[in-house]
A and B are shown apart, each in its own frame.
Chain A
Amino acid sequence: MFELHVLLLFMILGAIIAVEIKDLLSSVVAVGAVGLGLSVAFLILKAPDLAITQLVVEILCLIILIRATLKRDIPPLERGKEVVNSIIVLLFIAGFLFFAYLALKDLPSFGNPIMRVSQNYLAEGLKKTGATNLVASVILDFRAYDTLGEATVLFTAVIGVLAVLRRIGRKKVDETMKEENE
């Protein structure tokens, strides 16, 4: 899978640029490039549903992040005790990678999944539901509870945003208008 490795290298490079650069707008654009690379990786791994969803969700994330960083001045950050902090974090990440490599050696080799449950889904999907898109039949017929939970999470997020950004904004506008009138 040569092209998959090239794509992963591109994503890692984009992530390093997004983390290290000082300008906020450029790092948001770099995160957008990483998301686009992820969508192409989903296409290479034969998952077209996920590629469409990831592309569209990435565009929306970019719009909202740019709204947060556009009209704000970037405050200058001083170099405090950052060196000691970085070294401790790097040691922790090295330990984490070592234990992850030990734990993931038992997975089946790349390209031969076990698929004990999915054999039933593949064999009986067309007969039991009549849908030809097997992924849609899994999320809306065999596992509809998870979709209900996801709809609830989205509903809660929308209510949360509308509650956080609501009334005090109007009060501040009234206060500034009263200050200007006095």
Chain B
Amino acid sequence: MRIPCPFCGSRDSGEFVYRGDAAPVRPAGDEAEAMFAYLYLRDNPMGAIEEHWYHAQGCRQWLVVTRDTLTHAVAGAFSVGGDAA
């Protein structure tokens, strides 16, 4: 897989650290049920997914990468800050 880093260009996925699904958002409060869902429950989609990848061997920026879990095809990436590739 190659990931189109908005800062470094197209780079091998081996340069990145994978975190996982970018959809869960940390809840504002500390309500137990919401924290449980955020920490542990996942949609685990089959097909397109937005994920967090960290460009550890490059610009050291966190990216949101759109990828297909059935084909591994990468559709695009933008930085968590918002710059599109």
Asked if chains A and B come from one complex, the reply is: no
B interface residues, Cβ below 8 angstroms from A: none
